[in-house]
Amino acid sequence: MENREFPVEIPDIEYYKRMINCQQACPVHTYSGAYVQKIAEGDYLGAYILARMPNPFASACGRVCGAPCETACRRGALDEPVSIRALKRFVTERFGVEVHPYDPSKVLDLVYGKRRRRTEGAGRKVAVIGSGPAGLSCAHELALAGYAVTVFESQSVPGGMMVLGLPEYRLPRKVVDLEIAAILRLGVQIHVEKALGADFTLEGLEAEGYEAVFLACGAMKSRELSIEGIELDGVLKGVDFLLNANLGYNVQVGERVIVIGGGNVAVDVARTAVRFGIDIDGYRAAVRLGEITDSVGIEERSSAVDVARLALRRGAKNVKMVCLESREEMPAYEWEVQAAIEEGIELFPSRGPKRILGDGGKVVGLETLQVVSIFDEQGRFNPSFAQESESAIEGDTVILAIGQQPDLSFLPPESGVRISSRGMLDVDPETLETSRKGVFAGGDVVFGPRLLIDAVADGKRAAKSIQHFLGEPTPESSRARMTVIEDHHRYPAYDRIARVQPPSMPLEKRIGISEVDLDYDEVTAVDQARRCLKCQVQTIFDSEKCVLCGGCVDVCPEYCLRLTPVADLRGDESLTQLLQARYGVSAATLKDGDFEGTAIIKDETRCIRCGLCADRCPTGAITMETFELLEEMV
């Protein structure tokens, strides 16, 4: 096959980049279309390498990523997007850390090769504050470049909100632990129960020889709600509740729980409340017993299941969610809301809390009002309620899950790190450097709660900025490669394959922390991958070979090609540059009508990459080529 490389500054290349919607929508630019295609071809290892290369938490993202790639997927305009996230999990289950519980570093060998560590950093010391996805992704990138990275975590376990905020039924602790273990194999050190401001200072780190610091402390503080009854016994904060549940602490929630909020955290709180009261240590021990006795026989495995069930105390019998938004406007993922409904959680949309009802100092319910509107005429958050629309909901516990914010009490004014008016760390939007030289910040502590993959992207961006700050070579100039496809084809009936959701655990088996969402089987995964419209494949026209026969226009099933006089073309500066580069003519020359020529116009939004135009072309002027971005060291 022929390879041709170009600088990305060429206008055509920027155009091709925009065509790969899923890759551009991913904050770390995962080559998702390519790994989906490799799954369709049966190359699962190749798919895993592409999925893991830009993302040290590929296994976690295969389970809980918000999948902005799917929102941008062009297949969604036809029927429904390709199941990109679930297909990522399909390959991580076969080659990721899940397959290497005793040596997770094997994934590093698969992805980066035996000589996976570079030497740019040469052991120079960098400190990372916070061991969530942003902090650990930064540590991962710097360690790959040879830096000596130490991560400081204030909690007793690493992982940040992946461990403390996401319930185990969504993201098993084992998966996160293994992905962290792989990062540690690169030489990264983690110190837990070490809090900035209490156990060490920025000045102390500098004195110890750390040349740069990355602050990735997260947003671990629940937002407050100023209504009557907020001080009653039985009122809990959502983040605190999840933290205690995920660490295995016992919090009495009663039998009737009311969750205020309509976002993803609120859904996590509600679904956790149904399961709460779990003896997690006993449950995990029973699961381990089941794994150990797996080779012994069905009787021993049955005993392990019995032990597990005994370890589970029933959670709340009745859980309700109250949110300002209507059912259609709820910000939580639709599939999460649907799962909550399946598990018996009752929704009260378009209701706002007026006061928490109490008796004897304890919660007995919540009084709500009917929402008229959430935003005012200027688009600002300013809920209004219908008068005399009060109604009460009985409950023993009220959990507030209305948002999160950073707790920056550890940063005194003399630290030199500026805090924005929003209560976040203020950083340079390009480099993520704070107002204190050599101190960078990213993740939720800067931008507020976002997707896991956004935090990963911040960590990678900060690592690149830190390398630049320390005077080391960094990947600054991306290049692109076009590879001619010799035998391009579409899969039979690809346009009629419907999207299939991954299976989930039956309701009667959703006990405790057992993972609810399951994996595709191989046949289904390959079938789902074949739904991809192959956005990375581009139709390339060679004007030197074209004889303007019009065969490509005639054969196109989507009518996306058209022949037109060049003099009739109208466009922006990009068209002017293209005409100047190709023909040496200006837009003024075209307006005068002094130039004769014909152009082929293509509507990319309609193109299905079928390749019929290339097959029809008698002169070989049309080729189907794969476009991919490359990074190279300066």
Q: Mapped to the 3 state alphabet, what secondary structure does 210-246 carry?
A: CCEEEECCCCCEECCCCCECCCCECEEEHHHHHHHHH
Q: Are residues 436 and 417 in contact, defined by beta-carbon separation less than 8 angstroms?
A: yes
Output the pLDDT for position 52. Answer: 95
More confident residue, 52 or 599: 52
Q: Are residues 304 and 287 in contact, defined by beta-carbon separation less than 8 angstroms?
A: yes
Tally the residues of the chain: 634
* pLDDT reading at 258 higher than 50: yes
Output the pLDDT for position 536. Answer: 84
Output the pLDDT for position 295. Answer: 42
Euclidean distance between the first and the last CA atom of the chain, given in angstroms as a whole number: 27
Which of 95-109, 339-353, 367-381, 595-609 is least confident?
595-609
**3-state secondary structure string, 300-326?**
HHHHHHHHHHHHECCCCCEEEEECCCC
Residue of 451, 365, 441 whose CA lies nearest to 410: 441
Q: Of 172-186, 231-245, 502-516, 613-627, give the range with the top mean pLDDT.
A: 172-186
Output the DSSP codes for 65-83: ---HHHHH-GGGGTSS---
Contacts of residue 509, Cβ cutoff 8 Å, sequence gap at least 6: none
Output the pLDDT for position 17. Answer: 63
More confident residue, 5 or 454: 454
**Domain annotation for the chain: domains and CATH numbers:** 3-113+479-529 (1.10.1060), 222-277+313-402 (3.50.50.60), 279-310 (no CATH)
Average confidence (pLDDT) over 153-172: 92
Residue type, 144: L
More confident residue, 630 or 471: 471
Which of 132-146, 414-428, 617-631 is least confident?
617-631
* pLDDT reading at 312 higher than 50: no
Average confidence (pLDDT) over 251-270: 89
* pLDDT reading at 480 higher than 90: no
Output the pLDDT for position 252. Answer: 77
Which of 260-269, 320-329, 508-517 is least confident?
508-517
Residue of 292, 295, 298, 28 whose CA lies nearest to 140: 28
* pLDDT reading at 410 higher than 70: yes
Residue of 158, 139, 141, 59 whose CA lies nearest to 100: 59
More confident residue, 515 or 152: 152
> Exposure of 492 by Cβ count < 10 A (0-12 exposed, 13-18 middle, 19+ buried)?
exposed
Residue type, 261: G
413: left (phi over 0), alpha (psi -120 to 50) or beta: alpha
The residue with tokens 């040469």 is 122
Output the pLDDT for position 277. Answer: 54
Residue of 204, 633, 203 whose CA lies nearest to 436: 203
Within 13 Å and on the Cβ side, how many CA atoms surround 199? 11
Output the pLDDT for position 275. Answer: 81
- Read off the pTM: 0.86
User: Which pairing describes strands 148-152 and 189-191: parallel, antiparallel, or unpaired?
Assistant: parallel
Output the pLDDT for position 302. Answer: 43
* pLDDT reading at 1 higher than 50: no
Q: How far is CA 278 from the centre of its chain?
A: 29
Average confidence (pLDDT) over 197-203: 92
Output the pLDDT for position 183. Answer: 96
Average confidence (pLDDT) over 301-313: 39
Compute the distance between CA of residue 197 and CA of residue 203 in angstroms, rounded to an integer: 10
Q: What is the pLDDT of residues 528-546, one digit of tens each?
A: 999 998 888 888 898 889 9
Output the pLDDT for position 180. Answer: 96
Q: How confident is the model at residue 594 (pLDDT cuts 50, 70, 90)?
A: low
Q: What are phi and psi of 549, to 5 degrees?
A: -75, -20
More confident residue, 632 or 374: 374
More confident residue, 562 or 296: 562
Output the pLDDT for position 589. Answer: 65
List C-alpha distances in Å: 97 to 68, 92, 170, 175: 24, 7, 17, 7
* pLDDT reading at 190 higher than 80: yes
Compute the distance between CA of residue 419 and CA of residue 422 in angstroms, rounded to an integer: 8
Compute the distance between CA of residue 447 and CA of residue 427 in angstroms, rounded to an integer: 10
Compute the distance between CA of residue 90 and CA of residue 360 in angstroms, rounded to an integer: 53
Output the pLDDT for position 593. Answer: 59
Compute the distance between CA of residue 345 and CA of residue 342 in angstroms, rounded to an integer: 7
Output the pLDDT for position 74. Answer: 87
Number of Cβ within a 10 Å radius of residue 288: 11
Q: What is the pLDDT of residues 209-249, one digit of tens each?
A: 999 999 999 988 888 889 999 999 999 999 898 888 888 78
Question: DSSP 3-state assignment of 446?
Answer: helix
Compute the distance between CA of residue 285 and CA of residue 130 in angstroms, rounded to an integer: 29
Residue of 134, 210, 147, 207 whose CA lies nearest to 441: 134
Compute the distance between CA of residue 95 and CA of residue 117 in angstroms, rounded to an integer: 21
List C-alpha distances in Å: 237 to 12, 219, 220, 225, 266: 51, 13, 11, 10, 10
Output the pLDDT for position 15. Answer: 62
Tokens of 10: 């060429």
Q: How confident is the model at residue 119 (pLDDT cuts 50, 70, 90)?
A: low
Output the pLDDT for position 441. Answer: 97
User: Which pairing describes strands 256-260 and 318-322: parallel, antiparallel, or unpaired?
Assistant: parallel
Average confidence (pLDDT) over 497-518: 86
User: Which pairing describes strands 125-129 and 212-215: parallel, antiparallel, or unpaired?
Assistant: parallel
Tokens of 352: 């706002």
Which of 72-76, 170-174, 307-311 is least confident?
307-311
Number of Cβ within a 10 Å radius of residue 547: 10
Output the pLDDT for position 90. Answer: 97
Q: What is the mean pLDDT of the chain?
A: 85
* pLDDT reading at 315 higher than 90: no
Residue of 593, 602, 603 whose CA lies nearest to 568: 593
* pLDDT reading at 97 higher than 60: yes
